[in-house]
Structure 1
């Protein structure tokens, strides 16, 4: 059985995230959501729904700010605020962190270690945030680029962080066609916890140094 991890960045968004959750529930598959803290704070009901339906919630900073444009104090304050908010919304510690644009600095990495988190990057993108792309193009890129053990990064929000208008809707439309195809190819959808614990230890060993550790 082949496996992959489906992840979504920049949400939640009240317009798009419920539609995506409906699709995932219908397809009986889990995903990991790397949420922007300010968005999560505005829609705690969506965070609760994610958890109740078996998804994983990770952090993506409070306001999706580039770490290279942040002072050490900004980074410290952002981690502390993200951790407090995650605890308030979920009752648990924040375990997984994805830096915006995948950009880390020594200060970011130090706080990841200090707070015992895992940094999670990705293997596959489909440029789903770009203007001018289509659901068909996104689907084609996913089918071409996916492989056994891939961590796929898509977006369920992001119009306020550089994404094109209505881009998440195209992503959802692409997944309506792509998820059944992935299932037909023999892919199993893993939770992030399953991935970390090494459900497929061969794949984990191939991926972990590049994706999961600072």
Structure 2
């Protein structure tokens, strides 16, 4: 049995995230959502639904800002607010964090280490945010690039952070066709929490750069 981790950045978005959750529930697939704090605070019902349906929720900063353009105090305050908000919304400590655009700084790394949070990057992208892409192109890229143990990064939001208008809808449409194909190839879908626990040790051994330990 092969394994992969589906992850989604920049949400939740009330227009797209419920549709994605409906699809994942229909396919009996769990995923990991790296949510932007201000969006999560605006739609706590979506965070509660993620948790209740077995998904893992991680952090993606409060406002999706580039770490290299933030002052040390801004990064410190962002972590403090994010950690408090995550506990309020999920009832658990923040365990997983993905920096916006995958960009960290020495100050961000300091707080990741201080709060004992796992920094998570990715192995596979499908450029699903681009204006010229289509659901078919996204699906083809995923099929071509996936491998055993891959951490896949997609988006259920992001129009306010550089993504094209309507891009998450194309991602969902791509997954409607891609998830059944992945299942047919023998892939099991893990949350980041399951991945870390070593539910599938072989997949973890095969992974490349998706997980970065602080």
TM-score range, shorter chain: over 0.9
Residue of structure 2 in register with 1:204 after alignment: 204
For residues 85-164 of structure 1, the aligned pairs below 5 Å read 85-164=85-164
1:212 Cα shift?
A: 2.7
CA distance, structure 1, for counterparts of residue 192 and residue 59 of structure 2: 13
CA RMSD of aligned residues (A): 1.1
CA distance, structure 2, for counterparts of residue 161 and residue 149 of structure 1: 28
Residue of structure 2 in register with 1:38 after alignment: 38
CA distance, structure 2, for counterparts of residue 78 and residue 205 of structure 1: 33
1:171 Cα shift?
A: 0.1
Residue of structure 2 in register with 1:191 after alignment: 191
CA distance, structure 1, for counterparts of residue 118 and residue 110 of structure 2: 12
1:206 Cα shift?
A: 4.3
1:19 Cα shift?
A: 0.1
Cα distance, 1:14–1:210 mapped onto 2, change above 3 Å = closer
Cα distance, 1:111–1:167 mapped onto 2, change above 3 Å = same
TM-score (norm 1): 0.97
1:75 Cα shift?
A: 0.5
Matched pairs, number? 214
- Structure 1: stretches of 5+ with no match in the other structure: none
Contact 2:123 2:210 (8 Å CA) reproduced: no
Q: Structure 1, residues 157-184: CA drift from partner, whole Å, max 9, x if none?
A: 0000000000000000000000000000
Moved over 6 A (4+): none
TM-score (norm 2): 0.97
Q: Structure 1, residues 117-161: CA drift from partner, whole Å, max 9, x if none?
A: 100100000000001100000000000000000000000000000
Cα distance, 1:208–1:108 mapped onto 2, change above 3 Å = farther
1:200 Cα shift?
A: 2.0
Residue of structure 2 in register with 1:20 after alignment: 20
Contact 2:2 2:188 (8 Å CA) reproduced: yes
Residue of structure 1 in register with 2:6 after alignment: 6
- Structure 2: stretches of 5+ with no match in the other structure: none
CA distance, structure 1, for counterparts of residue 117 and residue 204 of structure 2: 17
SS in 1 for 2:188: strand
